[in-house]
Amino acid sequence: MRSILTALAATTLLTAPALADGHVSLSGDFKIVSDMSNPAPRAVMEGLAAQFGELHPELNVELEVVDREAWKSQIRNVLSANPPDVVNWYAANRMGPYVNAGLFEDVSDLWNEIEGLDAVKGAMTIDGKQWGVPYTYYQWGVYYREDIFNELGLEEPETWEQELANCQAILDSGRKCYTIGTRFLWTAGGWFDYLNMRTNGFDFHMQLAQGEIPWTDDRVRQTFANWRQLIDMGAYIDDHQNYSWQEALPFMVNGEATAYLMGNFAVAPLRDGGLSDDQLDFYQFPVINPDVELGEDAPTDTFHIPTGAENKEAAREFLKFVTSAEVQTQINAGDALGQLPVNANSSVDDDEFLNQGFEMLSQNATGGIAQFFDRDFPAEMAAIGMEGLQEFMVFPDNLDDILNRLEQARQRIYAN
């Protein structure tokens, strides 16, 4: 707690003059409800609340931290019954139900006042308006054994043809191309996200997530056709349906598999497993269709103003405060959240993979930022969909039955 508050204290010198020049004077009660309940995020949230209170001494800042999982079932009642001034939630389709129910405030005008958020704007946009601000996110991509690539004379692939050629060389060396554990299904969702965004584009992927495109569409079938190229090659470790994502890590650590399509949270256990940064590297998922821009999975945590908030002036200033480049640098540092700042003008901790992810998401994610399959799709559709994706990876000949089943689910779920 002390280290984060100390870091945030430096923001006073940076932020206070801007607030003074803007003649912003806040008073009254200001309540935040946050689901940042794990120790490090909680310390960050407490530091943010304390620092914002120091900047506005006439403001009574009250912070309530709730359990992250419990908040998922509580948020609608809180927003409807006795809303605070600011709440935590998630971007894109996960905020959709609360936007559609009129429970989140339109803050589009704030986005004109905050520089550096262009890369994440799409994730906060519904019907051409922005309904909150992000405060942290992290990259997905392909983490791979650089030492094995060097041994085999391989380079990071930029195209699907290069990816397939690399994979064949890896298989010829007696290794698998990719480790994965699909026992809990969601990891298969990551593969579908990337293959579909690279085949058909980010907008198409989002339209599919919103129920606007049939699962039996030929363009969706092309995504699965591309995926089947890897499956038929034997690219994935055997029996992956029996492993969790953590249980699949040793295949890469031991050199039995060469790469893992995963979020940046995999880096720490790979290092703990014995891989050095000289053995480990990262690349952006390669281009399949050169006519579509590159979308990326980057799950994003957010702040929102409930429409029933009583102190919206303070809430709006808090959203500007937390997305400023300086605060973003500090709260996403390695001794705080240890993730990526959403402001492109921020600095990133001196970590190889965080820097690679920041560059990719800030400069190269030209198609848009997706939130991951189980966040972008409605919960019931996501559950049924991921079952189908895992089944396809094990039994690719079942594709027609899988797509028909998913299409029946789409028609029922989105109609309701």
Q: What is the pLDDT of residues 402-413, one digit of tens each?
A: 999 999 999 999
Q: Is residue 379 part of a domain?
A: yes
Contact (CB, 8 A) for 245 and 409: no
**Residue whose C-alpha is closest to residue 89's, from 81, 103, 61, 62:** 103
**64 and 90 belong to one structural domain:** yes
pLDDT attached to residue 114: 94
Q: Is residue 358 part of a domain?
A: no
Enclosing domain of residue 285? 140-297+372-415
Q: Is residue 359 part of a domain?
A: no
Q: Is residue 363 part of a domain?
A: no
Please count the structural domains in the chain.
2
Query: The whole model's pTM is what?
Result: 0.83
Q: What is the dihedral of CA 302, 307, 310, 316, to 10 degrees?
A: 40
> Counting Cβ atoms within 10 Å, is residue 153 exposed (0-12), middle (13-18) or buried (19+)?
exposed
88: Cβ contacts below 8 Å, ≥ 6 apart: 33, 34, 35, 36, 71, 301, 302, 303, 304
**173 and 247 belong to one structural domain:** yes
**158 and 273 belong to one structural domain:** yes
Helix 399-415 / helix 218-233 crossing angle, nearest 10 deg: 140
**130 and 33 belong to one structural domain:** yes
Q: What is the mean pLDDT of residues 372-382?
A: 91
Q: Is residue 253 part of a domain?
A: yes
**120 and 149 belong to one structural domain:** no
**213 and 248 belong to one structural domain:** yes
50: Cβ contacts below 8 Å, ≥ 6 apart: 5, 8, 61
**127 and 171 belong to one structural domain:** no
123: Cβ contacts below 8 Å, ≥ 6 apart: 91, 92, 134, 298, 300, 368, 369, 370, 371
Q: Is residue 354 part of a domain?
A: no
**281 and 330 belong to one structural domain:** no
Tell me the pLDDT band of 378, cut-offs 50, 70 and 90: confident
**194 and 287 belong to one structural domain:** yes
**242 and 376 belong to one structural domain:** yes
Q: How far apart are CA 367 and CA 365, in angstroms?
A: 6
pLDDT attached to residue 132: 98
Find the CATH number of the domain harbouring 285.
3.40.190.10
**65 and 91 belong to one structural domain:** yes
Q: Is residue 162 part of a domain?
A: yes
Q: Is residue 353 part of a domain?
A: no
pLDDT digits 0-9 by tens, 158-191: 999 999 999 999 999 999 999 999 999 999 999 9
pLDDT digits 0-9 by tens, 234-267: 999 999 999 999 999 999 999 999 999 999 989 9
**289 and 303 belong to one structural domain:** no
301: Cβ contacts below 8 Å, ≥ 6 apart: 88, 89, 90, 91, 134, 135, 136, 137
Q: What is the DSSP letter of 285?
A: P
Q: What is the mean pLDDT of residues 267-288?
A: 96
